[in-house]
Amino acid sequence: MLIPKTHPRATSLYIREKLVHGFREGLVVEEGLLAHGRGEMFDYLIGEKTTKTSQKAIKAAARALLVAKLPVISVNGNFAALCAKEIVELSKITGAKIEVNLFYASEKRKKAIAQILKKNGAKEVLGIESKFAKKIPKLDSARRVVDKRGIFSADVILVPLEDGDRTIALKKFGKDVITFDLNPMSRTAQTADITIVDNVTRGMKILIDVCKKLSKKDLEKKSKFDNKKNLKKSTLIIRKNLRRMANA
């Protein structure tokens, strides 16, 4: 479908097309299209821009990834379809491993996702070979199966568009969790250590940029980031936007 550049909602429609393309290529599940719609709604409410509050979370996330001993980027269908290039770039800058981890797991889709990441320059993609499979305790979904060289051994994990159960299980398993979630009220957003309330398509580019700019001195400073406080601010932004629209 041709989306005119002049369309007032062109950016949002391009992102949607990218996801539909990912669905047709076998990267994204049907449920992923629904999850995207949920994200679009919250993006609308936060004003479809990276807020100052999200920028703070991005800075904290960049720092956490750069100081981590074994950072891992967890990739699902939606994330791969929307940000394959950025995932590889972030992995190169931070030294993070890339691991495919799916809620609606299928070997075929795992391979398709690994392939698109490799096409974008990834040297190694974990989560594919069953001989390295390990289980996260106290988790029933397919996401419990992880790679022992990756998520299983990681100290810091970036898990965008995550489901609440795994975030809780990862926390109980002693991991530091960073997430992108447009819904500041979701269980994942509330449970993670650092929640970036932003669209992955905008936030990943900024995260890469901040990782490039942080100095050694910045990394030595102790992080003062408070996720709960930051999430409250994102919710207040939504309230302010709704009030403004209601009063207009």
Within 10 angstroms of residue 174's Cβ, the number of other Cβ atoms is 8
Considering only the stretches 133-141, 199-207, 217-225, 231-239, report the one whose residues sit in contact with ligand PTJ under the rule CB under 6 A.
Answer: 199-207
Q: Which of residues 60-119 bind ligand PTJ (CB under 6 A)?
A: 76-78, 82, 102-104
Considering only the stretches 150-158, 196-204, 224-232, 235-243, report the one whose residues sit in contact with ligand PTJ under the rule CB under 6 A.
Answer: 196-204
How many chain residues touch ligand PTJ (CB under 6 A)? 25
Q: Does 38 bind ligand PTJ (CB under 6 A)?
A: yes
In angstroms, rounded to a whole number, what is the distance separating the alpha carbons of residues 127 and 94?
Answer: 19
In angstroms, rounded to a whole number, what is the distance separating the alpha carbons of residues 77 and 26?
Answer: 9
Q: How would DSSP label each residue in 37-100?
A: HHHHHHHHHHTSS--HHHHHHHHHHHHHHHH-SSEEEEE-HHHHHHHHHHHHHHHHHH--EEEE
Structure tokens at 22: 């990912």
Of residues 54 and 94, the one with the C-beta less far from ligand PTJ: 54
Q: Residues 112, 114, 170, 200: which binds ligand PTJ (CB under 6 A)?
A: 200
Q: What are phi and psi of 73, to 5 degrees?
A: -105, 115
Q: Does 186 bind ligand PTJ (CB under 6 A)?
A: yes
Considering only the stretches 3-11, 24-32, 46-54, 217-225, report the one whose residues sit in contact with ligand PTJ under the rule CB under 6 A.
Answer: 24-32
User: What count of Cα atoms within 13 Å lies in the side-chain half-sphere of residue 30?
Assistant: 0
Q: Does 163 bind ligand PTJ (CB under 6 A)?
A: yes
Q: Which helix (H) or strand (E) holds 98?
A: strand 97-100
Site string for ligand PTJ, 227-246 (x = CB under 6 A): --------------------
What is the smallest separation between the CB atom of 217 and ligand PTJ, expressed in angstroms?
A: 31
Name the site residues for ligand PTJ (rule: CB under 6 A): 29, 31-32, 35-36, 38-39, 42, 76-78, 82, 102-104, 161, 163, 180-183, 186, 199-201
Binding-site residue positions for ATP: 16, 38, 181-183, 187-188, 199-200
